[in-house]
Amino acid sequence: MHLICDSPDFARQLLPGEVVDRLSGEPLKDPTLRLLEHEFLEQGSDTLSAELPSGTWRCLVLARYASRSQYDRMIGLARSGSRVPDRTLCLAGAGDGFHGFKGRPWSADPGNIHLTVHLAPRRPIEQAQVAFTVLAALSIVDALDRIPELRDQATIKWVNDVLLDDAKVAGLLAYTLSQSSTVSSAVLGIGLNVETVPEVRRTDFVPAVASLRQLAPDAPGVSQGQVLMKLMEALDHNYRVLLDQGYAPLLARYRDRSCIEGAHVAICSDESDGKPEVLRQGRVTALGSGLELYLDNSAEPVTRGRLMFLDKPPRRGSTSDPVGSKRDRGRR
């Protein structure tokens, strides 16, 4: 794996000392690595790099600070036809101009994970428009499950939030670029609150925000670097599942970790200005294969909008089934 960074002190916060000690200031010769350096490290910074023993990831770029969204930069590279390697990771320690779904502001604070992932499967992917959203959400959940104090507690709120104790700890974005039926690029953006609770405006859609450190203050495995390693392992595993076994096993696990089935919800418009309009409301009976929602009062699925809980979401592991045999509707 190629490691590129602009700060050995920042790299040391994330990686073992023996890895950081391999860094050198020799100019990058590979054109692809120079492209990543130009796009993801701030101009004027000193670039350090190292060639690490081969692993599952091809390249890891660590930027202490990013002046704009690395997720947007990676999408720009994919659209331009640049051959960014499969399994490329870019992590910003902090930054400006970061955002969530529909461009909603996301505070990129030190101590948290702001990760952009580029995957290049170059093959057909079933349900590609949602498969990488599912992959990213599950990978966050799996990383949290590897912290004993948080195991089996994380849930997924439709469609791209991860909750712990009913508070948002992570959000994700996914973009795919296809040629005919072949997915040439998939870009994932993951924001995960590890050590800091960011300043986020509370709304009916995001009533509470938390960090892993806040929820598990005594857990030894909660640091930016340790959680990053767990997340990289989970992303690698789930990407392999998608390539080798297809979308179905990931979808099944996404449904299992979803907190919306059986919940009484309102689906609102996406407008950010003014009071959102309630488009639909009812109890969720099923989550379809394209992540569409089925409500108990309509056969027409919900495919867009923002979800707001009208009562407390069901706890993970609850055996209640208020919708009985309707539970499997839409699961095709």
What is the domain-level CATH number for residue 226?
A: 3.30.930.10
Domain boundary among the residues 233, 257, 281 is at 257
Q: Given 234, 257, 280, which residue is the final one in a domain?
A: 257
126-167 tens-digit pLDDT:
999 999 999 999 999 999 999 999 999 999 999 999 999 999
Please indicate, yes or no, whether residues 92 and 190 belong to a single structural domain of this protein: yes
Which band of pLDDT confidence, cut at 50, 70 and 90, is reported for residue 314? low
* Both structure tokens of 97: 């101009």
Judged against a pLDDT cut of 50, whether residue 323 lies above it is answered with no
Number of domains in the chain: 2
* Residues 281, 206 share a domain: no
* Structural domain for 120, as ranges: 2-257
For residues 247 and 180, membership in a common domain is answered with: yes
In the beta sheet, which residues pair with residue 164?
Answer: 167
Q: Residue written as tokens 């200031």?
A: 25
Give the model confidence (pLDDT) of 274-290 as tens digits.
678 999 999 999 999 99
* Res 322: pLDDT: 36
On whether both 184 and 311 belong to a single domain, the answer is: no
Q: Are residues 269 and 123 in the same domain?
A: no
User: Do 208 and 309 have their domain in common?
Assistant: no
Q: Are residues 162 and 238 in the same domain?
A: yes
- Same domain (yes/no): 140, 226: yes
Of the three residues 257, 288, 318, the one that is the final residue of a domain is 257
User: Is the domain of 56 the same as that of 141?
Assistant: yes
What is this structure's pTM?
A: 0.92
Indicate the angle between helix axes 31-40 and 70-80, nearest 10 degrees: 140
- Above 80 in pLDDT, residue 185? yes
Asked if 156 and 208 sit in the same domain, the reply is yes
C-alpha distances in Å from residue 150, one per residue of 143, 175, 214: 10, 29, 12
Judge if 118 and 217 occupy the same domain.
yes
Burial (0-12, 13-18, 19+ Cβ within 10 Å), 200: middle
Query: Are 197 and 182 part of one and the same domain?
Result: yes
* Cα 3 to Cα 9, 101, 217, 313, distances in angstroms: 14, 29, 31, 42
